[in-house]
Amino acid sequence: MGYKAKFRVWRGEGGEGRLEDFTVEVNEGEVVLDIIHRLQATQAPDLAVRWNCKAGKCGSCSMEINGKPRLGCMTRMSTFGEDETITVTPMRTFPVIKDLVTDVSFNYAKAREIPSFTPPAGVEPGEYRMQQIDVERSQEFRKCIECFMCNNVCHVIRDHEENKPAFAGPRFLMRIAELDMHPYDVVDRKDSAQEDHGLGFCNITKCCTEVCPEHIKITDNALIPMKERVVDRKYDPLVWLGNKIFKR
């Protein structure tokens, strides 16, 4: 059975904006993105929203629904009460272009700062031999759809614009961990994870893991192991002794 829902949607551009109230029809089986589309079709033709697949796979429709980062296309209207006012706002960590569309270029800039996978010289594609456990570990991280909700929710940059230059965010610290754990990657990523990409800023609040629509265990399987790898390097007695001897 259909009903009328109360929607409160952020409208604005150029740093200015306000919440606008709508009453809008909802039908059985619909998701929040359907309602945004109905608003465009019936009441707000210039309402801007980014979307593409409507299947939880392109990562485009990230938004904040009642204050929580969610994919609009995967958030069922049946999870809200019919009397509830549903507030839809753009991701807070990135600048708003218009209405629900944010400029996520921060994330692409961070991606470009990470050296790509570098295999050893002389090993041709097809000659790599890996343990199944190494394959499975990176497969979990590669489920990422780049919705950037983990970077959006992480307090290190959500409320601290000034940290952005020094912090890659969980999505890209996870990418560094993925490459560091790869048995055929020869780039030394431990020092740069800490010094260039801000691994030390992460204090394991796990908010990133909580919002990941792919249920990737970002904190437990990527960030904490990467911190351990960095610490192992720093306090490895052999490395310590080598530094003492050779850096004199």
Binding site for ligand SF4 (CB under 6 A): 144-150, 171, 211-214, 216, 218
Does residue 59 bind ligand FES (CB under 6 A)?
A: yes
Closest contact distance (angstroms) between CB of 84 and ligand F3S is 27
Closest contact distance (angstroms) between CB of 135 and ligand SF4 is 19
Give how many residues touch ligand FES by CB under 6 A.
12
Q: Which of 226, 171, 232, 179 is nearest to 199 (CA)?
A: 226
CB 77 within 8 A of CB 30: yes
Tokens of 14: 């150029």
Tell me the C-alpha distance between 158 and 93, whole Å: 5
**Residue showing tokens 């959500």:** 158
Query: Residue 5 or 154: which CB sits closer to ligand SF4?
Result: 154
Query: Residue 144 or 226: which CB sits closer to ligand FES?
Result: 144
Query: Residue 30 or 185: which CB sits closer to ligand FES?
Result: 30
Tokens of 175: 């990418």
In the list 54, 92, 155, 158, the residue contacting ligand FES (rule: CB under 6 A) is: 54
Closest contact distance (angstroms) between CB of 247 and ligand FES is 50
| Interaction pattern, residues 157-196, with ligand F3S; x per rule: CB under 6 A | -------------x--------------------------
**Residue showing tokens 């990230």:** 62
- 223's contact among ligand F3S, ligand SF4, ligand FES, none, with CB below 5 to 8 A by partner kind, is ligand F3S
Tell me the C-alpha distance between 232 and 85, whole Å: 50
CB 177 within 8 A of CB 222: yes
Query: Could you give the 3-state DSSP secondary structure of residue 149?
Result: helix
Query: Could you give the 3-state DSSP secondary structure of residue 20?
Result: strand
Interacting residues with ligand FES (CB under 6 A): 51-54, 56-61, 71, 73
